């Protein structure tokens, strides 16, 4: 391990620009409630699409689409180069955690030249025909979902919408990444680029899907129910004074029940519950229940791998029962979710794995950003209120593009 200090304006920006210019899969992330900011790149330009196995894989980063029924379509970006940047008075002080024996010569040439001013295109041109979801289309989908819930086809479904915005001319990925890290200290902030597929995704997710630390502690959470964190006068509401409607309480209970049922399927009965409690995520409040299991005590080291397969997609992004809810989404949403509401996160980095649901996220394609937001629909849903909820969620990232 070596330590050094960059003399450029931003060594991370130089690394990012060089990786995109050469066409290398690259990730930056910051874990919740931590300061360290990670940069990881693979010298395999077309990363493998595999089923994640935490016990067998080396260090890397997982990136999965929403539609991934067997788990085999998950990109695994191998950690050929990994830097950790400490959040100090000098934000470009870093530690080199993984230094490869062979490095892409074009990448090194760009780094050596310190081409901090290089501004590669964000990604390939936006060739999709999808437009921002209209109020009329979204509320019609919500009404149809309520009708099918009343008919007993499912209990809950999560519907989402997209909003397209222009990317400012002076836009810089690393600058936005740092702004999100500052604005959302409890979120998993990430940016993922796979140049061969023409995609860049950036987000600030509030939801852990699965994690397992070096001591074998497994964690997941039920996160559901949404309201503004501010009152009508613009004042922050104390979490102890938050009031929840029956609709949000029931929505959260469905997600918690889904997780417990997954534990039951694999005969895991020894788990700790903490909650439900009100938590703040940016401009929003949610209900959250935390689940913790000591995999050493129950002799189940592969729990994270098994639970990842069982949980995705959770009731919080799909619905209950899972299959009819997922089919409703595929039949009624007028766009492909792609990686929105999939999962992502570091695998076996410093002996820990942390996988999050890809929420509060946007996709970048040249000068267009596509933002995504969803909400849980139950029999008690009000279409107009669901639209307002998604608008609040879109502001998490959208306000940085306005």
**pLDDT of amino acid 99:** 62
Q: How many structural domains are present in the chain? A: 2
Instruction: Determine the Cα–Cα distance for residues 118 and 309; give it in Å rounded to an integer.
Output: 40
Q: Which tokens go with 139?
A: 């509320």
Would you state the pLDDT for residue 92?
Answer: 58
Same domain for 264 and 349?
yes
Ordered alpha helix ranges (H), 195-277:
246-265
Same domain, yes or no, for 236 and 374?
yes
Q: Do 103 and 148 sit in the same domain of this protein?
A: no
Cα–Cα distance measured from residue 210 to residue 1, given in angstroms and rounded to the nearest whole number: 29
Paired tokens of 402? 């306005």
Residue span of the structural domain in which 81 resides: 2-113
Residue 63 included in any domain = yes
232 and 283 part of one domain: yes
pLDDT, tens digit (0-9, with 9 covering 90-100), for 382-393: 999 999 999 999
DSSP state for residue 372 in the 8-state scheme: E
pLDDT in tens, 70-84: 999 999 999 999 999
| Distance separating alpha carbons of residues 269 and 394, to the nearest angstrom | 38
Q: What is the pLDDT of residue 90?
A: 64
Tokens of 36: 């360290």
35 within 8 A of 86, measured Cβ to Cβ: yes
**Domain check: are 158 and 296 in the same one?**
yes
For the chain, 402 residues long, give each residue's pLDDT as a single digit of tens: 333 333 334 788 888 988 988 899 999 999 999 999 999 999 999 999 999 999 999 999 999 999 998 999 999 999 999 999 886 556 556 776 766 655 666 666 666 554 444 454 455 555 555 789 999 999 999 999 999 999 999 999 999 999 999 999 888 999 999 999 999 999 999 999 998 878 899 999 999 999 999 999 999 999 999 999 999 999 999 999 999 999 999 999 999 999 999 999 999 999 999 999 999 999 999 999 999 999 999 999 999 999 999 999 999 999 999 999 999 999 999 999 999 999 999 999 999 999 999 999 999 988 899 999 999 999 999 999 999 999 999 999 999 987
Please provide the DSSP assignment of 316-355 as one string: TTSEESHHHHHHHHHHH-SS--TTTTSEEEEESBTTBEEE
255 phi and psi angles, rounded to 5 deg: -70, -45
Give 148-184 pLDDT, tens digit per residue.
999 999 999 999 999 999 999 888 999 999 999 999 9
Q: Is residue 222 part of a domain?
A: yes
In a domain, 125, yes or no: no
Domain boundary residue among 65, 81, 113? 113
Cα(12)–Cα(191) distance, integer angstroms: 13
Q: Which ranges in 266-316 belong to alpha helices (H)? A: 303-311
Asked if the structure places residue 192 within a domain, the reply is: no
217 lies in the same domain as 80: no
Asked if the structure places residue 32 within a domain, the reply is: yes
Helix and strand numbers, DSSP H then E, in the chain: 8, 20
C-alpha to C-alpha distance for 96 and 297, rounded to whole angstroms: 34
Question: 124 in a domain, yes or no?
Answer: no
- Domain match, 158 and 59 both: no
My answer on whether 9 and 76 are in the same domain is yes
* Nearest-angstrom CA–CA distance, 159 and 143: 11
Q: Computed over its alpha carbons, how large is the radius of gyration of the chain?
A: 21
Instruction: Verify that 241 and 293 share a domain, yes or no.
Output: yes
- Report yes or no on 240 lying in a domain: yes
Q: Which residues of 68-103 are buried (b: 16+ CB within 10 A; e: fewer)?
A: beebeebbbbbbbbbbbbeeeeebbbbeebbeeeee
| 218 shares its domain with 356 | yes
Q: Is residue 302 domain-shared with residue 369, that is, in the same domain? A: yes
Predicted pLDDT at 1: 33
Residues 6+ apart with CB under 8 A from 234: none
Q: Would 118 be classed as within a structural domain?
A: no
pLDDT digits (tens, 9 = 90+) for 36-90: 999 999 999 999 999 999 999 999 999 999 999 899 999 999 999 999 988 655 6
Answer yes or no: do 147 and 63 share one domain. Answer: no
Residue 182 has a pLDDT of: 94
């Amino acid at each position: 391990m070596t330590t050094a200090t960059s003399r450029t304006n931003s060594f991370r920006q130089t690394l990012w620009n060089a990786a995109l210019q050469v066409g290398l899969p690259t990730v930056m992330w910051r874990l919740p409630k931590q300061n360290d900011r990670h940069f990881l790149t693979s010298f395999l330009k077309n990363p493998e699409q595999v089923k994640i196995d935490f016990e067998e894989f080396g260090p890397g980063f997982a990136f999965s689409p929403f539609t991934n029924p067997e788990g085999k379509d998950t990109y695994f970006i191998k950690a050929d180069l990994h830097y950790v940047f400490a959040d100090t008075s000098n934000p470009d002080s870093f530690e080199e955690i993984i230094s490869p024996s062979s490095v892409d010569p074009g990448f090194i040439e760009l780094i050596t030249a310190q081409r901090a001013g290089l501004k590669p295109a964000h990604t390939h041109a936006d060739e999709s025909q999808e437009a921002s979801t209209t109020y009329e289309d979204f509320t019609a989908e919500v009404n149809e979902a309520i009708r099918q819930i009343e008919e007993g086809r499912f209990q809950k479904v999560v519907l989402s919408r997209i909003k397209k915005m222009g990317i400012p001319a002076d836009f810089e990925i690393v600058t936005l990444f740092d702004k999100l890290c500052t604005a959302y200290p409890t979120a998993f902030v990430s940016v993922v680029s796979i140049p061969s597929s023409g995609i860049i995704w950036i987000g600030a997710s509030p939801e852990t899907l699965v994690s397992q630390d070096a001591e074998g502690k497994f964690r997941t959470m039920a996160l559901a129910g949404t309201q503004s964190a501010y009152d009508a006068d613009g004042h922050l509401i104390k979490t102890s004074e938050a009031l929840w409607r029956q609709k949000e309480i029931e929505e959260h209970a469905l997600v918690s029940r889904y997780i417990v049922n997954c534990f039951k399927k694999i005969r895991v009965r020894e788990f700790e519950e903490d909650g439900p409690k009100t938590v703040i995520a940016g401009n929003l409040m949610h209900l959250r229940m935390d689940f913790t299991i000591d995999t050493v005590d129950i002799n189940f080291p592969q729990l994270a791998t098994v639970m990842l397969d069982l949980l995705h997609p959770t009731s919080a992004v799909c619905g209950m029962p899972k299959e009819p809810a997922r089919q409703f989404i595929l039949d009624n949403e007028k766009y492909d979710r792609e990686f929105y509401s999939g999962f992502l996160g570091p695998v076996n980095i410093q002996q820990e794995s942390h996988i999050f649901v890809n929420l509060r996220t946007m996709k970048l394609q040249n000068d267009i950003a596509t933002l995504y937001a969803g909400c849980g629909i139950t029999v008690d849903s009000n279409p107009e209120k669901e639209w307002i909820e998604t608008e609040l969620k879109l502001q998490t990232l959208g306000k940085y593009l306005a």
